[in-house]
Amino acid sequence: MGPRHSPSRTFRILVTTSWIPGGVTTWTHEFANHLADRGHDVTCVLVKLRWPLVRNPPPFRDVRYNVIWLQAQPLTFLSSVPRLLSAYLPRHRTEIVVSTEAEGINIPSGQRDSAFPPHAAVVHVPEPAYVDPKRLVLATLGLSKNLLSAPLWCTKGRQDLGQRMTLWHWQWVQYFGRKRLERAPIVVCVSRAQSNAVQHAWGISGAKIRVIYNGIDTREFRPMPVSDRGRECRLLFVGGSNPRKGVDILLDAFALVSKRYSGVSLDLVGGWDWSVQKEKASKLGISSQIRFLPYVVYDNMPAYYTQSYAFIAPSRGESFGRTVAEAMACGVPVISTQAGSIPEVVDDGVSGILVPRDDVKALAEAIIELLNHPRKANEMGREGRRRVEKYFAWDVVIPQWEELFEQLT
């Protein structure tokens, strides 16, 4: 871990985010808490979208920053934060604004006023891709099959509708994500892989991009003695049922592993609806060896990591790979894919094993390798902890943000 020296100066910082379950909300909470611990005056604007399809995560227990709750309707979502700031900034001295998602798309419009503070836009989109706005609007209206394979109104059932709505939603996220970065004076990417992607896919100038990795709380996420670990053959997956996380590949691989190790079990943590995965597990004959756990309060997550033998993340794309780094911080060996930023987080063969994306056989063989060699698994866990302390601990990451704030102001 890096030294906990005091910053050369403190800042008044406003952070904006959309209040939805997932890594971005978690990152915002951790980011604000650790800035506050360093003496900065931090306020978070948490935008809650009033829409039946959007679920709100449970509140965090330990909040050490100021909070402003902002309710927004779908049609006013993109203008809600700029309207708030126009009233807030004249009365509250603010030196830096940091946005995390689409709620920050119109923040730079206020920079026509010379008194508007500098704005840094953080990118958390896993795989930036260009989306043509005309095709997106036509698909939304149900007039084009090209983007969604079928218009939204052409559905066969609840599952079919959910799949199309998810794809439609992410297309809009991609579109607004690009627009936000185009308008922001400074862009912070959470990995080098993501920096390359936003430059090539979205045409964002590399001159305004800074790479600062996500931070991990190494005091909360820490190893327990190996002898104290329960469930010696329990594997862990965290990420919900989003297809990008690759849980479908994991179920196929786990079915192969369970033929060799009848005592192995698997925890699937996150998300809200595991119905599709439960049906698949039943067909594979592995239901009795799997626990399906919906959304877990973030403060309870260290216990899940430390009680697992290995962490499995068969992701198809990651902007950083937060859960992978959290598992490593807990001294748990990791098996993941060579997708996105993962090779920057996991030192293949040292702190974990990386396999090709969507390769069921390679994933199963990697799991069996660690089950066959517990000493190797333990050593990888120790190396993972050391790697997180060196590169990804908040004590290492926050000073990089402070340096950026100094440059901006």
Residues 305 and 310: their CA atoms lie apart, in Å, by 8
What's the pLDDT tens digit per position in 198-242? 999 999 999 999 999 999 999 999 998 755 444 468 999 998 888
For the entire predicted model, the pTM comes to 0.88
| Segment 44-52 mean pLDDT | 84
Residue 207: is it exposed, middle or buried by C-beta count within 10 angstroms (0-12/13-18/19+)? exposed
Assign 3 a pLDDT band (cuts: 50, 70, 90).
Answer: very low
334: CB partners within 8 A, 6+ apart:
310, 311, 312, 313, 324, 327, 328, 346, 351, 352, 353, 380, 384
Q: Coil, helix or strand for 225?
A: coil
Residues 283 and 285: their CA atoms lie apart, in Å, by 5
- Check residue 27 and give its pLDDT: 95
Distance of CA 398 to the CA centre of its chain: 18
Distance of CA 40 to the CA centre of its chain: 24
What's the pLDDT tens digit per position in 282-298? 999 999 999 999 888 88
What's the pLDDT tens digit per position in 53-62? 667 777 788 9
Distance of CA 364 to the CA centre of its chain: 25
Averaged confidence pLDDT in the chain: 87
Residue closest to 125 by CA, chosen among 202, 50, 69, 59: 202
- Check residue 156 and give its pLDDT: 53
- Check residue 324 and give its pLDDT: 97
**CA–CA distance from 373 to each of 332, 333, 367 (Å)?**
14, 12, 10
What residues form DSSP beta bridges with 355? 337
What's the pLDDT tens digit per position in 54-86? 677 777 889 999 999 999 887 888 889 989 998
What's the pLDDT tens digit per position in 162-193? 566 666 667 777 888 899 999 899 999 999 99
| Segment 94-106 mean pLDDT | 92
For residue 253, count other CB atoms closer than 10 A to its CB: 27
Q: Coil, helix or strand for 263?
A: coil
Domains and CATH numbers, the chain: 12-215+393-408 (3.40.50.2000), 226-391 (3.40.50.2000)
Residues 319 and 43: their CA atoms lie apart, in Å, by 25
Given a contact cutoff of 8 angstroms between Cβ atoms, the answer to whether 325 and 302 are in contact is no
Distance of CA 354 to the CA centre of its chain: 19
Given a contact cutoff of 8 angstroms between Cβ atoms, the answer to whether 294 and 267 are in contact is no
Residue 246 vs residue 130, higher pLDDT: 246
- Check residue 110 and give its pLDDT: 45
Write out the two tokens for 4.
Answer: 């906990």
- Check residue 226 and give its pLDDT: 57
